[in-house]
C-alpha cells in the first residue's frame, strides 16, 4: 500500500462519487408512485396563522377542526414491487432491445432483472471497501454494457443516444482513474488479497 | 330597551336628512354614509361565494356577522379568511334559517351564492326578514322562483341586486354610454355575436373525508355528494352552461342594445359528456347555440344576436360580446386583453385617429389590417383599435366583481341606485328560459329525401 494523503483523498472522492452514482441509479429502479396519507401541512399553516392573527389556541383548533389531519397525496416510494431494470416506457425497453439484431434476445430479460441489484451491490462494495479493485472493474464492465445499449439504439434515437454514450464515457474515465489510484486506498472492510480467492498482483 | 343598531342608524339618518324610501327600498340620504359600517352575512361559500368574499375582504367598513354553508369545510374556510384578514369572528351556520332567526334584525345585507334552486327561497326569506340581498345569477332555476324574488323585493321595499356584474363595470358602462351612444362608434348595429367557450372539464370531486352526511344532503335538497358538487348540470338544481355562463352575456346584449329580444331560436347538444353506459352524463346541454332577434334596439332598428356557449372547446378566444355596426365593431369582454374596436373601411381613418387623439378610444394597430385577401369579393381586413388607456372609474387591479358589490353596498348606504336590480335581471332570466324552451321545441327536421334527386 502506498502512502500519499493527497492521492488517498483523491481516491476517496472517486470511490464515494462512483458508489453514490451506482447506488442511487440502482435505487431508482425500485422507485414508483403510490397514494399515501401525508400530514396536512395546510392545516398546520392555517392554525399558526390564526394564532398569529390573535385567535386563542382553543378557538383556532376549533376553526381548523374541519380540515383533515392528513391528505391523500401521490408520493414516490421504493419497493421491490416497482422494480424495473430497464425502463417500462420509452426507447430503452426490454422489447426494444430484444428486437435488436445487435443484442442476444435471450439475455435481455435476465440483464434487466440483474441491473438494479448489480448497481446497488457494486456501489455498496465500493463504498464499504470490499474487494475495491474487483468492484471497480465489474462496475466498469457494467457501464460498458450500458454503453453498448446506447450504441445499439443510436440509429433510432440519434443524438440523445450519442450523448448517453459520451455520458457513460465520463463514468468510465472516473472508474479508470479510481483503479489507478486504488493503491492509495484506506479504510477498507475487506482489502484486496485478504483471502486466497481474491489474491491479485496489486502492490499491497 | 331596543338596541340601536346600524340599520336603525341608516334609516334614521336617511330620514332625518330628508331622504325618501324609494320603491326599491333604497335609503336616500343627503349625507355621504360611505363611512358607515355595514353588517353583512354570506350564504354559500362555494367557488362563486369565494369570488365575492375575495372582493368583500378588500372593502372598507364591512362587518361580517355570519357565514353559512352546508359544507363545513367551506363555512370554516370563510370564517378563517375573515378572521385572518379583518380580525372579525363571524358566526357559522349550516342552515340559513337559523342565521335569519339570530341575526336578521342586525343585518344590513346578505350575499347569496348558493346553487340556483336555493336562490328564490333564501332571497325571499331574507327580504321578508328586512335584509337587503345581493344574489348571484341565475335568479332561480324556475321562472316562478325568479318572479317571487322580484315580488318579495317590491313588497318589502328592500334592495335586491342580482350578480350580473358587468353592468357595474366601468369599462362596460363606458362602452354603453360613451362609445355606442354618445359617439355612435359602431354606426347602425345590425348584428351581434358572443360566446363563452370553455375547455373540457371533468366533473368536480371531493375528498372522501369531507363528504357531507347523507341526511344533511337530503335535508338541503341533494341526492348525493356528486350532485351537490355538480349541481350546475342538474335540471332540478341548476341551469347548465346557457344559464351559468350565458345569462351574463345575454343580459349584456339586452342592456347594451336597450331592448328586450323579440324572438329566439336555439339548438342544444349533449353528446359529449357521457356516462359509462353511453347516456348523457348531464341533464343540461354541453353546448348551446342561439339566435335572438331584436325588433327595436336603442337605435330604432332590428338586430340579430348570435350567441354560443360551448363546454367542449375554448376555441375562439374565450368570452366576449361583439356589437357589429356598419361603421365599426365593438368586441367587449371582461378581459381587457380581449376587448377591441374595429373600424370599417368606409370610415375615414382620420375620424378614428381623432377619437384616439382625444382619448375616446385607444390607438390603432395598422398591422391588424395587413391581411392579404384571397378573393375579389372579400372585404379588406379591418384595422383594430384598443380601449382608451384610462376609463373613468376603472382600476385594473380591482377584481371584476368588486364594482358590482360596491354598487350594491353604495345603494344600501343610500349613495346610488342598483345597477342590476331584480326587475332588470328578470329580463335576462326570461330570455334564457325562452332560449331553453326554443331548444326543447326543436328545429326543422331534414329527411334523407331532402338530399336526393329522385328520377
Q: Considering only the C-alpha atoms of chain B, give the largest distance between any 2 of them, rounded to a whole number of Å.
A: 95
Instruction: Specify whether B215 is located in the same domain as B148.
Output: no
Of B88, B94, B134, B80, whose CA–CA distance to B111 is shortest? Answer: B134
- Which helix (H) or strand (E) segment is B162 a member of? strand B160-162
pLDDT reported for residue A191: 83
Q: Considering only the C-alpha atoms of chain A, give the largest distance between any 2 of them, rounded to a whole number of Å.
A: 76
**Cα angle value A72/A73/A74 (rounded, 5°):** 135
Chain B positions in Cβ-Cβ contact with residue A38 (cut-off 8 Å): none
**pLDDT tens, position by position, A51-64:** 999 999 999 999 99
CA A72 to chain B, closest CA, distance in angstroms equals: 8
CB contact under 8 A, B207 and A50: no
Of B95, B28, B46, whose CA–CA distance to B66 is shortest? Answer: B95
B304: left (phi over 0), alpha (psi -120 to 50) or beta: beta
Q: Which of A50, A54, A68 is nearest residue B209 as measured by Cβ atoms?
A: A68
CB contact, 8 Å: A49 with chain B?
A: yes
pLDDT reported for residue B125: 98
Query: With contact defined as beta carbons under 8 Å apart, do A145 and A111 qualify?
Result: yes
- Interface of B to A at Cβ within 8 Å reads 72-73, 75-76, 79-80, 83-84, 87, 207, 209-210
Q: How is residue B452 annotated by DSSP?
A: -
Instruction: Specify whether B280 is located in the same domain as B357.
Output: yes
Provide mean pLDDT across the span B333-339: 94
Cell of B416: 346610488
Instruction: Specify whether B134 is located in the same domain as B192.
Output: no
Residues 6+ apart with CB under 8 A from A110: none
Instruction: Specify whether B217 is located in the same domain as B124.
Output: no
Provide mean pLDDT across the span B26-32: 37
C-alpha B269, offset from chain centre:
23
pLDDT above 90: percentage of residues in chain A: 77
Cell of A87: 425502463
**pLDDT tens, position by position, B129-179:** 999 999 999 999 999 999 999 999 999 999 999 999 999 999 999 999 999
Rounded (10°) CA dihedral B406, B408, B410, B416 = 120
Instruction: Specify whether B285 is located in the same domain as B255.
Output: yes
What is the Cα–Cα distance from A117 to A22, expressed in whole angstroms?
10
What is the chain A residue with the closest CA to B90?
A: A63
* Confidence at B34, pLDDT banded by 50, 70, 90: low
* Confidence at B318, pLDDT banded by 50, 70, 90: confident
Interface subset of A 57-86, CB within 8 angstroms of B: 63-68, 71-72
What is the Cα–Cα distance from B171 to B336, expressed in whole angstroms?
9
**pLDDT tens, position by position, A120-152:** 999 999 999 999 999 999 999 999 999 999 999
What is the Cα–Cα distance from B44 to B283, expressed in whole angstroms?
23
pLDDT reported for residue A3: 79
Q: Which of B72, B80, B87 is nearest residue A54 as measured by Cβ atoms?
A: B87
Residue B343 forms part of a structural domain = yes
Helix/strand/coil percent split, chain B, to 5: 40, 20, 45
Question: 10 Å Cβ neighbour count for B20?
Answer: 12
**Cα angle value A28/A32/A37 (rounded, 5°):** 130
CB contact under 8 A, A67 and B76: yes
In a mutational test of the B interface, the residue from A66, A67, A69 whose CB has the highest number of chain B CBs within 10 Å is: A66
Whether A8 has a pLDDT exceeding 80, the answer reads: yes
Helix (H, G, I), strand (E, B) or coil at B287: strand
Helix (H, G, I), strand (E, B) or coil at B79: helix
Instruction: Specify whether B216 is located in the same domain as B303.
Output: yes
Of B156, B146, B154, whose CA–CA distance to B126 is shortest? Answer: B156
Whether B32 has a pLDDT exceeding 90, the answer reads: no
- Cis bond upstream, residue B138 (ω within 30): yes
Whether B397 has a pLDDT exceeding 50, the answer reads: yes
CB contact under 8 A, B80 and A71: no
Question: 10 Å Cβ neighbour count for B271?
Answer: 11
Helix (H, G, I), strand (E, B) or coil at A73: strand
Instruction: Specify whether B67 is located in the same domain as B132.
Output: yes
* Confidence at B35, pLDDT banded by 50, 70, 90: confident
What is the Cα–Cα distance from A157 to A150, expressed in whole angstroms?
9
Chain A positions in Cβ-Cβ contact with residue B213 (cut-off 8 Å): none
Domain tally for chain B? 2
Instruction: Specify whether B364 is located in the same domain as B408.
Output: no
pLDDT reported for residue A201: 53
Q: Which of B73, B84, B87 is nearest residue A66 as measured by Cβ atoms?
A: B73
Chain B positions in Cβ-Cβ contact with residue A72 (cut-off 8 Å): 207
Query: With contact defined as beta carbons under 8 Å apart, do A18 and A142 qualify?
Result: no
Of B93, B108, B14, whose CA–CA distance to B63 is shortest? Answer: B108
Question: 10 Å Cβ neighbour count for B32?
Answer: 10
What is the chain B residue with the closest CA to A53?
A: B84
Helix axes A132-157, A159-181, angle to 10 degrees: 170
* Confidence at B27, pLDDT banded by 50, 70, 90: very low
What is the Cα–Cα distance from B290 to B441, expressed in whole angstroms?
13
Q: What is the pTM of this model?
A: 0.78
Query: With contact defined as beta carbons under 8 Å apart, do B50 and B82 qualify?
Result: no
ipTM for the complex shown: 0.72
Chain A positions in Cβ-Cβ contact with residue B209 (cut-off 8 Å): 68
CA B80 to chain A, closest CA, distance in angstroms equals: 7
pLDDT reported for residue B17: 39
Burial of B17 (C-beta count, 10 Å sphere; 0-12/13-18/19+): middle
* Confidence at B15, pLDDT banded by 50, 70, 90: very low
Provide mean pLDDT across the span B215-238: 97
Instruction: Specify whether B17 is located in the same domain as B49.
Output: yes
Instruction: Specify whether B148 is located in the same domain as B161.
Output: yes
**pLDDT tens, position by position, B69-96:** 999 999 999 999 999 999 999 999 999 9
Query: With contact defined as beta carbons under 8 Å apart, do B65 and B91 qualify?
Result: yes
Interface subset of A 19-48, CB within 8 angstroms of B: 46
Chain A positions in Cβ-Cβ contact with residue B76 (cut-off 8 Å): 63-67
What is the Cα–Cα distance from A16 to A123, expressed in whole angstroms?
9
Task: Dihedral sign for Cα A149, A155, A160, A166, please.
Answer: positive
Helix (H, G, I), strand (E, B) or coil at B37: coil
pLDDT reported for residue A190: 85
Whether B7 has a pLDDT exceeding 60, the answer reads: no
Domain that holds residue B302: 168-371+379-395
CA B242 to chain A, closest CA, distance in angstroms equals: 34
Chain B positions in Cβ-Cβ contact with residue A45 (cut-off 8 Å): none
CB contact under 8 A, A63 and B80: yes
**pLDDT tens, position by position, B225-235:** 999 999 999 99
CB contact under 8 A, B73 and A54: no
Residue B12 forms part of a structural domain = yes
Interface subset of A 137-196, CB within 8 angstroms of B: none
B392: left (phi over 0), alpha (psi -120 to 50) or beta: beta
Whether A40 has a pLDDT exceeding 50, the answer reads: yes
CB contact under 8 A, A64 and B80: yes
Average pLDDT, chain B: 92
CB contact under 8 A, B83 and A46: no
pLDDT reported for residue A198: 57
The pairing of beta strand B287-294 with beta strand B303-310: antiparallel
Helix (H, G, I), strand (E, B) or coil at B64: strand
Q: String of b and e for A156-177 (b: at least 16 CB within 10 Å)?
A: ebeeebeebbeebeebeebbee
Of B156, B117, B161, B154, whose CA–CA distance to B136 is shortest? Answer: B161
Helix (H, G, I), strand (E, B) or coil at B401: coil
CB contact under 8 A, A72 and B207: yes
Residue B455 forms part of a structural domain = no
Question: 10 Å Cβ neighbour count for A88?
Answer: 10
Q: Which of B84, B87, B207 is nearest residue A68 as measured by Cβ atoms?
A: B207
Query: With contact defined as beta carbons under 8 Å apart, do B378 and B359 qualify?
Result: no
Provide mean pLDDT across the span B219-226: 98
pLDDT reported for residue B414: 96
**pLDDT tens, position by position, B38-61:** 999 999 999 999 999 999 999 999
What is the Cα–Cα distance from A39 to B99, expressed in whole angstroms?
34
Instruction: Specify whether B159 is located in the same domain as B255.
Output: no
Chain A positions in Cβ-Cβ contact with residue B79 (cut-off 8 Å): 63
CA B72 to chain A, closest CA, distance in angstroms equals: 6
Instruction: Specify whether B195 is located in the same domain as B339.
Output: yes
Amino acid at each position: 500500500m502506498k502512502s500519499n494523503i493527497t492521492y488517498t483523498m483523491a481516491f476517496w472522492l472517486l470511490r464515494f462519487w462512483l458508489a453514490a452514482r451506482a447506488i442511487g441509479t440502482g435505487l431508482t429502479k425500485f422507485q414508483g408512485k403510490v397514494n399515501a396519507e401525508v400530514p396536512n401541512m395546510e392545516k398546520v399553516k392555517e392554525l399558526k396563522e390564526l394564532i398569529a392573527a390573535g385567535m386563542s389556541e382553543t378557538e383556532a383548533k376549533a376553526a381548523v377542526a374541519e380540515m383533515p389531519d392528513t391528505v391523500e397525496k401521490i408520493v414516490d416510494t421504493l419497493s421491490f414491487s416497482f422494480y424495473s431494470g430497464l425502463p417500462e416506457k420509452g426507447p430503452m425497453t426490454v422489447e426494444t432491445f430484444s428486437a435488436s439484431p445487435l443484442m442476444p434476445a435471450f439475455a435481455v430479460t435476465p440483464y434487466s432483472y440483474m441491473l438494479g441489484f448489480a448497481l446497488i451491490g457494486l456501489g455498496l462494495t465500493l463504498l464499504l471497501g470490499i474487494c475495491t479493485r474487483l468492484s471497480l472493474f465489474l462496475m466498469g464492465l457494467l457501464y460498458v454494457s450500458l454503453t453498448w445499449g446506447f450504441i445499439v439504439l443510436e440509429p433510432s434515437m440519434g443524438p440523445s443516444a450519442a450523448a448517453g454514450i459520451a455520458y457513460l464515457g465520463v463514468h468510465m474515465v472516473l472508474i479508470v482513474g479510481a483503479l489507478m489510484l486504488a493503491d492509495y486506498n484506506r479504510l477498507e472492510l475487506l482489502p484486496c488479497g485478504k483471502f486466497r480467492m481474491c489474491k491479485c498482483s496489486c502492490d499491497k | 330597551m331596543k338596541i340601536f343598531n346600524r340599520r336603525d342608524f341608516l334609516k334614521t339618518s336617511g330620514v332625518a336628512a330628508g331622504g325618501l324610501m324609494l320603491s326599491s327600498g333604497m335609503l336616500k340620504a343627503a349625507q355621504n354614509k360611505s363611512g358607515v359600517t355595514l353588517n353583512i352575512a354570506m350564504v354559500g361559500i362555494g367557488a362563486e361565494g369565494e369570488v365575492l368574499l375575495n372582493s368583500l375582504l378588500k372593502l372598507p367598513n364591512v362587518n361580517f356577522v355570519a357565514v353559512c354553508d352546508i359544507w363545513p369545510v367551506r363555512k370554516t374556510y370563510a370564517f378563517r379568511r375573515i378572521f385572518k384578514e379583518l380580525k372579525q369572528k363571524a358566526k357559522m351556520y349550516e342552515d340559513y334559517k337559523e342565521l335569519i332567526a339570530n341575526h336578521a334584525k342586525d343585518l344590513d345585507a346578505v350575499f347569496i351564492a348558493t346553487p340556483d334552486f336555493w336562490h328564490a327561497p333564501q332571497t325571499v326569506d331574507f327580504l321578508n326578514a328586512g335584509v337587503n340581498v345581493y344574489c348571484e345569477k341565475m335568479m332561480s332555476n324556475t321562472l316562478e322562483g325568479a318572479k317571487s324574488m322580484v315580488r318579495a323585493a317590491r313588497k318589502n321595499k328592500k334592495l335586491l341586486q342580482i350578480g350580473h356584474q358587468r353592468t357595474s363595470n366601468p369599462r362596460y358602462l363606458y362602452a354603453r354610454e360613451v362609445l355606442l351612444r354618445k359617439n355612435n362608434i359602431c354606426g347602425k348595429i345590425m348584428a351581434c355575436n358572443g360566446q363563452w367557450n370553455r375547455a373540457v372539464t371533468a366533473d368536480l370531486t371531493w375528498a372522501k373525508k369531507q363528504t357531507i352526511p347523507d341526511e344533511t344532503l337530503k335535508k338541503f335538497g341533494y341526492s348525493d355528494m356528486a350532485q351537490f358538487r355538480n349541481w350546475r348540470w342538474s335540471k332540478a338544481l341548476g341551469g347548465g352552461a346557457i344559464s351559468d355562463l350565458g345569462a351574463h352575456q345575454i343580459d349584456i346584449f339586452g342592456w347594451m342594445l336597450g331592448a328586450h329580444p323579440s324572438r329566439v331560436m336555439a339548438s342544444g347538444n349533449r353528446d359529449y359528456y357521457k356516462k359509462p353506459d353511453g347516456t348523457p352524463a348531464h341533464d343540461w346541454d354541453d353546448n348551446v347555440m342561439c339566435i335572438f332577434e331584436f325588433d327595436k334596439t336603442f337605435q330604432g332598428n332590428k338586430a340579430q344576436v348570435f350567441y354560443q356557449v360551448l363546454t367542449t372547446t375554448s376555441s375562439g378566444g374565450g368570452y366576449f360580446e361583439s356589437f357589429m355596426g356598419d361603421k365599426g365593431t365593438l368586441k367587449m369582454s371582461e378581459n381587457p386583453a380581449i376587448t377591441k374596436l374595429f373600424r370599417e373601411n368606409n370610415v375615414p381613418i382620420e375620424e378614428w385617429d381623432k377619437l384616439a387623439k382625444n382619448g375616446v378610444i385607444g390607438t390603432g394597430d395598422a398591422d391588424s389590417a395587413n391581411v392579404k385577401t384571397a378573393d375579389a369579393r372579400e372585404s379588406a381586413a379591418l384595422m383594430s383599435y384598443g380601449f382608451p388607456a384610462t376609463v373613468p372609474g376603472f382600476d385594473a387591479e380591482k377584481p371584476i366583481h368588486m364594482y358590482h358589490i360596491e354598487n350594491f353596498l353604495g345603494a344600501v348606504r343610500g349613495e346610488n341606485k342598483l345597477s342590476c336590480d331584480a326587475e332588470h335581471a328578470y329580463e335576462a332570466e326570461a330570455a334564457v328560459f325562452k332560449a331553453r324552451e326554443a331548444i326543447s321545441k326543436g328545429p326543422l327536421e331534414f329527411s334523407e329525401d331532402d338530399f336526393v334527386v329522385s328520377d
